[in-house]
Structure 1
């Protein structure tokens, strides 16, 4: 009886340890930014007035701001005058999503967005 209880507790402990290791492994992965992401300097010091690269901008009503841990933060909690970010715009030109960059992500270049080009159709029957 005592041996089975010890084995059950040990297997539960090993299962929890395995789950914990997988959570830590997810934390060190690189964030993937969308191909249309832009980089800029965000000024939130006079929120709700927002400035991106010293130009007045609007946050979309559905905007999301992700901190360096990729967790959503409220816009009103940010008061720094210069935050280096990646961001996307919606179809109205409003800032839609914002990612606050870590010190490791700042020097990395954004991937070049793919330019769509039509593929010409060639009819195999016509020579």
Structure 2
């Protein structure tokens, strides 16, 4: 019984780790920015104060939710907003992801011309 529980636990841990390390897909309606500061109830993106949504989520580079007190300052982000403009979801970007998102934005601008 103990062995089977340990095996199941090991498999679930491995599965969760694989999901966290998988390539992340960002929503197409997002925006690129720099998160200057974040605390519960207030945030600043690109040196502009923004209102956070009531259910705001900040995802770290491992795709896990980051508590407000652990969100770094002046970090590159991809973020989405609600219909009323409140910031809803934020993804902290790795340097590679930043380059990918910049390429996506450039491609979108070129296709619109």
TM-score by length of 1: 0.63
Structure 1 position 106, deviation (Å) = 1.4
TM-score by length of 2: 0.70
Which has the larger helix fraction? 2
Structure 1 position 27, deviation (Å) = 3.8
Asked if the contact 2:38/2:68 (under 8 Å) is kept, the reply is no
Offset from partner CA, 1:24-57 (integer Å, 9 cap, x none): 5434321011110111001116764421111111
Which of 86, 92, 97 is equivalent to 2:78? 86
Distance 1:56 1:105, change over 3 A: same
RMSD, aligned CA: 2.9
Determine the structure 1 residue equivalent to 2:87: 95
Asked if the contact 2:32/2:79 (under 8 Å) is kept, the reply is yes
* 3-state SS of 2:99 partner: coil
Distance 1:46 1:16, change over 3 A: closer
Cα distance in 1 for residues equivalent to 2:64 and 2:33: 20
